[in-house]
């Protein structure tokens, strides 16, 4: 959660346990004027409705891209259930002759072998979440009707997973980075944080500099259109969560005439600049903490008091003690305050993780940092052998291209601290300093805040959860309003995203739409 909008990331543990799609920037723009331009001043930080619309691309496929659209996919069995393939896309859509990137995809063929609906592309969020790993790990949790009607396809976006992944730091370097104090108390700690952010950026430049400027969301959306054509589909059917909603909405904005059935769950508001978005997310996690605290105090094993206020005070006191003296863990590592906050935030994504947080806080109060450290490791996708998946590397790379940095320097962060702490007394300070990462990024942002209309597209279902910590409900309301054919489906409940979380009302509404094209009625709400 160190990237500018890293709270868009869904922890891998949540994805594995929830099984169905979850994940967490807004923004995203073209690297050239022909690539789907965002009207307005270059690099401007528009707020909300002041943002200009994303303009669609011409319907005809450009001649200089025809060779990419004419490729033949060579699907090969990659285990008992799946087929895998790779294909080429331009490194830079502004210069299709300037080199290629290789992308990887996996599919689970439809039951019976003849899909009635074509292919359904999936994205589990991030940016940085692997759609391939997601599909391979959760395919059997999908509705049987969907598995029979569609070829389910996971495409790792450029820079992610198996698709030319961004790399930055080795395991020990990443351990040091994630443990860096995120609530600096003096100039020396501020300097240490800045040094860590600069080292992270330098590592990314050293390891992946040749394509670091070409992993934006607009480019990934264009890649999806190439794959759509190679799959033989006239329309793109898509199911995405959190950041996946931004990827899907961007596709709809660029190619409205090619949109099929599209579900966007846990929506991003593309009209917000990174500062406004980060502030809103800080507030979202505060709401989630309040929900946890209210639940915690009803349990005998709650370690943080008997009232919601006591719970917050106990958390603050614990983090203060850990900041002064990191806790030992059974691995021999130390739980720092920043890692402790990562562990707490990880559990805000889903109610089924709340018991784990109660256990972890109990252990931490007793001097054992092991459970909270394990939660933090899950958030960062750190393996027991000390290696890291590329999720956080890709997360930062995409975020820093999609929107200009919210802060230029530590002084700007300090000025914003009162606002962050007001909207989130328990996490605001951490999340403000986390937002500094992109200030030192070696590539200039290519995107800007914008609205997405997707004029002429069929109904697009936007799902919003009222107490979603990472993608606040107001974002779903905003995106559904921006989209000319947006249809808002509301889940009155807790956790990040709603579909596939065992709420029959939400699941039935989404499945009915994907299978029969029956979009939920306007204003439909589902209760917890």
Name the token pair of 478: 């905003």
Whether 468 is catalytic: yes
Reduced 3-state DSSP string for 260-311: EEEEEECCCCCCCCHHHHHHHHHHHHHHHHHHHHHHHCCCCCCCCCCCHHHH
Contact of 91 with 35, CB cutoff 8 Å: no
Contact of 248 with 123, CB cutoff 8 Å: yes
Contact of 134 with 103, CB cutoff 8 Å: no
The span from the CA of 177 to the CA of 155, in Å, is 29
Whether 242 is catalytic: yes
Give, rounded to a whole angstrom, the gap between the first and last alpha carbons of the chain: 28
Residue 316: closest CA among 330, 327, 305, 329:
305
Residue 159: closest CA among 231, 207, 106:
207
Name the token pair of 345: 């935030």
Give the 3-state secondary structure percentages of the chain, helix then strand then coil, rounded to 5: 45, 15, 40
Q: Which of 197, 402, 468, 494 is catalytic?
A: 468
DSSP secondary structure of 7-40: GGPPPHHHHHHH-S----------SSTTS-PBPS
Task: Calculate the alpha carbon distances from 106 to 116, 137, 158, 280 in Å.
Answer: 19, 12, 14, 35
Q: Which of 237, 426, 450, 496 is catalytic?
A: 496
Name the token pair of 269: 């508001």
Name the token pair of 411: 């002084």
Backbone angles phi, psi at 104, to 5 degrees: -120, 145
Q: Which of 119, 138, 242, 338 is catalytic?
A: 242
Q: Which residues are CB-contacts of 94 (< 8 A; sequence separation ≥ 6)? A: 31, 32, 34, 35
Task: Annotate 367-382 with b (16+ C-beta within 10 A) or e (fewer).
Answer: ebbbbbbbbbbbbbbb
The span from the CA of 311 to the CA of 286, in Å, is 12
The span from the CA of 237 to the CA of 260, in Å, is 5
Question: Other CB atoms closer than 10 Å to residue 524's CB: what's the count?
Answer: 15
Give the residue numbers marked as catalytic: 242, 468, 496
């Amino acid at each position: 959660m160190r990237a500018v909008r890293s709270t868009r990331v869904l922890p891998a543990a949540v994805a594995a346990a929830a099984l169905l799609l979850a994940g967490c920037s807004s923004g995203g723009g073209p690297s050239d004027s022909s690539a789907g331009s965002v009207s307005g001043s270059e690099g401007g930080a528009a707020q909300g409705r002041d943002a200009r619309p994303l303009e669609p691309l011409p319907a005809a496929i450009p001649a200089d891209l025809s060779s990419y659209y004419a490729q033949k996919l060579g699907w090969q069995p990659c285990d008992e259930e799946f087929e895998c393939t790779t294909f080429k896309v331009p490194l830079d859509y502004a210069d299709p002759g300037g080199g290629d990137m290789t992308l990887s995809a996996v599919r689970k063929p439809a039951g019976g072998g003849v899909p009635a609906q074509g292919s359904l592309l999936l994205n589990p969020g991030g940016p940085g979440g692997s759609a391939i790993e997601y599909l391979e790990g959760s395919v059997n949790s999908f509705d049987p009707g969907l598995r029979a009607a569609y070829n389910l396809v996971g495409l790792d976006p450029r820079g992610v997973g198996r698709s030319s992944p961004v790399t930055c730091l080795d395991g020990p370097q990443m351990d040091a980075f994630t443990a860096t104090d995120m609530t600096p108390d003096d100039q020396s700690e501020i300097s240490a944080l800045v040094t860590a952010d600069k080292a992270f950026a330098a590592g990314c430049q050293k390891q992946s500099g040749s394509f670091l400027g070409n992993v934006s969301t607009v480019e990934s959306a264009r890649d999806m259109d190439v794959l759509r054509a190679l799959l033989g589909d006239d329309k793109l059917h898509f199911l995405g969560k959190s950041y996946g909603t931004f990827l899907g909405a961007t596709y709809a904005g660029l190619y409205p005439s090619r949109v099929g059935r599209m579900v966007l769950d846990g929506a991003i508001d593309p009209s917000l600049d990174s500062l406004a978005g980060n502030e809103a997310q800080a507030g979202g996690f505060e709401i989630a903490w309040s929900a946890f605290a209210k639940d915690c105090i009803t349990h005998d094993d709650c370690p943080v008091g008997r009232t919601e206020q006591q719970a917050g005070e106990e958390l603050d006191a614990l983090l203060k003690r850990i900041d002064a003296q990191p806790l030992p863990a059974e691995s021999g590592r130390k739980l720092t305050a920043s890692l402790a906050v990562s562990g707490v935030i990880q559990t805000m994504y889903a109610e089924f993780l709340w018991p784990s947080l109660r256990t972890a806080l109990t252990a931490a109060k007793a001097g054992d940092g092991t459970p909270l450290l394990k939660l933090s490791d899950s958030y960062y996708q750190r393996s027991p052998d000390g290696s890291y998946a590329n999720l956080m590397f890709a997360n930062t790379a995409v975020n820093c291209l999609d929107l200009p940095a919210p802060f230029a320097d530590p002084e700007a962060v300090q000025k914003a601290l009162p606002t962050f702490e007001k909207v989130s007394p328990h996490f605001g300070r951490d999340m403000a300093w986390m937002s500094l990462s992109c200030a030192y990024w070696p590539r200039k942002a290519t995107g800007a805040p914008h609205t997405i209309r997707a004029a002429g597209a069929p109904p697009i279902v936007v799902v919003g959860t009222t107490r979603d910590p990472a993608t606040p409900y107001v974002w779903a309301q905003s995106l559904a309003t921006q989209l000319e054919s947006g249809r808002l489906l509301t889940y009155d409940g807790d956790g990040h995203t709603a579909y596939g979380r065992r709420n029959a009302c939400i699941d039935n509404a989404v499945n009915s739409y994907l299978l029969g094209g029956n979009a939920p009625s306007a204003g439909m709400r589902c209760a917890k």
